[in-house]
Amino acid sequence: MFTSLRRVIKTGWRGFRRNIGLSLATILIMVMVISLATLLFLLSPVSDILITDIKEKVDISVYFKEDVLSEDILEVETEILKIPEVKDVEYVSKEQALEKFIERHKDDPVLMESLTEVGANPFLASLNIRAWEVSQYEQVTNFLETSPFRSLIDKVDYHQRKPVIDKVFSMVSGFYKIGIFFSIVFAVVAVLIAFNTIRIAIYNSGEEISIMRLVGASNWFVRGPFLIQGIIIGFIAALITLLISFGLCYGFDNKIKAIAPEISIYSIFVSNFFLLFLIQLATGIGLGVISSYVAVRKYLKI
Amino acid sequence: MLSINNITKLYPSRTGNAPTIALDNVSFKINGKEFVSIVGKSGAGKTTLLKLILAEEKPSKGQIFFDDLNIHEIKRSQLPKLRQRIGTVFQDYKLFPSKTTYENVAYIMEAMGASEQEIKRDVPQILEIVGLLNRADNFPNELSGGEKQRAAIARALIHRPDIILADEPFGNLDPYHTFDIIKLLIKIYELGTTVILATHDKEVINSLGKRVITLDSGKVIRDEERGRFIL
């Protein structure tokens, strides 16, 4: 048993070395397939970060009537914070609202001028409320509109914002679905290409496999070396892909950060290093072994 | 040892014509330790018969028994065990193109689980006998036709099978090597191995003075104990 295994491994390694050209070509294809798996793996946290980021930016504001005191508003804030759906609440006083407006529009002379013409501070004090989930805003709004302190409220801008919120989220979920669809299509295409490459590589040995059967080798003794070659090819391809993905994540980290500061592709890579390598190995070796197994089977029927 | 019972082999025609009859109701017995030559013109059915004995093909009718084993009814997983009892010299050599001469010959011993020591002892020995020791590290495409044939013979003999099936083993040999191989086959036979030799080499058959089965158009037309090549 042990002798057989040793021979199978030796023969597999010899086959890999002797057909080095074909082996390298197969490794190259396999690197592409594993890269795709890596890309899908790395994109998943990136898209999560982007979606969370968009979600974080969504909030609703409750505007209070002109004459409501800030103590009352802070009391309402305490009440709102008791609602389980609410994540956090931020109080923006009339003055802060004005400051924010000036800060944002200081380069726009028309707006600044109209502000001067109005004279007094035209802004209302408000509470910016963020819920845990976008779908919870409706409930929060309902609560506010039916609460005992509704008389203090001038307006809740949820209804105004709802179409925008809905649109953004239908787009996000649309992109997500398209992403999943293309991921599956690419993955299937990649697997088929890898499988076919190995099949063609083994096609060359088809006659040899049949002769092995005819001289009395068992199926496993025939198949073993091809499975070993599949493992070697998958392993080397996974290692190469790991190095390439490390290089790319390291090299592009700053460039991506410049566009999206909250995404660090390099730290995603580092914190998922072992899982990622495991996925790469599983993709490479799994594809190599399964493709070899299926491709050899055809020639064993003698 | 080997019993061929009413074997018929038809090859269906792809164009819808009548099937080709390769063997037509062939029966004979080979008792243990025999040297049997099967002769006949090209297309008489010699190679088909050997393929059926090796279970490379299935008969259309009839049975072949190896001892008590109906070789076309045993499981596919059991076939290697049967084939390990047979050493075959194929007409087209069927050497492994990606293996050296040494590895070609050693392969079946490896598959049978022989120890490294046995392999290192036996393979050079048989290569020396067939005169290929200096070609041990060459690949089949680096060998001449005669050398390939001798390598194929070495591979068929290495594991000391119960039966040797030799399909035109002299096809590419010069008279000198032909004589050597015949001597080798006779020696193997004398040591207790059954040899089934399919050939149309008249001189070889006549010099052997052993049992000859003559096939013509798929039928056995003659089966003589000390036969000669008569067509």
Answer whether A5 touches B (CB < 8 Å): no
8 Å CB contact of A15 and B56:
no
Are B112 and A218 an interchain contact pair (Cβ–Cβ within 8 Å)? no
Q: Which of A18, A215, A219 sits opposite B98 (nearest CB)?
A: A18
- Indicate left, alpha or beta for A216 from its phi (over 0: left) and psi (-120 to 50: alpha): left
Distance from C-alpha of B32 to C-alpha of B203, rounded to nearest angstrom? 25
A10 touches chain B (CB under 8 A): no
Residue B35: predicted pLDDT: 93
Place of tokens 């099937």: B19
> Which of A214, A219, A297, A300 is best to mutate for the B interface (most B CBs within 10 A)?
A214
| Chain B residue nearest residue A219, CA to CA | B77
Give strand ranges (E) for chain B: 2-11, 20-30, 35-39, 61-66, 69-70, 86-89, 163-167, 194-199, 211-216, 219-224
Rg of chain B in Å (alpha carbons): 18
- Asked if B88 lies within 8 A of A218 by C-beta distance, the reply is no
pLDDT tens per residue, range A172-230? 778 778 888 888 888 888 888 888 888 888 888 888 999 999 999 999 999 999 999 99
Q: What is the pLDDT of residue B55?
A: 92
Residue A151, CA distances (Å) to A43, A62, A143, A230 in order: 48, 12, 13, 73
Residues A11, A224: Cα–Cα separation, whole Å: 9
Confidence of residue B29 (pLDDT cuts 50, 70, 90): very high
Strands B35-39 and B211-216: parallel
Give the DSSP H or E segment for A62. Answer: strand A60-64
pLDDT value at residue A128: 87
- B130, B119, B132, B54: which is closest to B90 by C-alpha? B54
pLDDT band at B123 (very low <50, low <70, confident <90, very high): very high
Q: Which residue has the tokens 């032909």?
A: B178
| DSSP assignment string, A67-115 | T--HHHHHHHHHHHHTSTTEEEEEEE-HHHHHHHHHHHHTT-HHHHHHH
**Any chain B CB within 8 A of the CB of A216?**
yes
Lowest-pLDDT choice from A123-132, A157-166, B66-75, B206-215: A157-166
Structure tokens at B215: 């096939």
B84/A contact by beta carbon, under 8 A? yes
pLDDT band at B228 (very low <50, low <70, confident <90, very high): confident
Which residues in chain B have Cβ-Cβ distances shorter than 8 Å to A20?
A: none
* CB contacts, 8 Å: B98 with chain A: 15, 18-19, 205, 208
The span from the first CA to the last CA of chain B, in angstroms, equals 28
Domains of chain A: 2-54+169-300 (no CATH), 58-160 (3.30.70.3040)
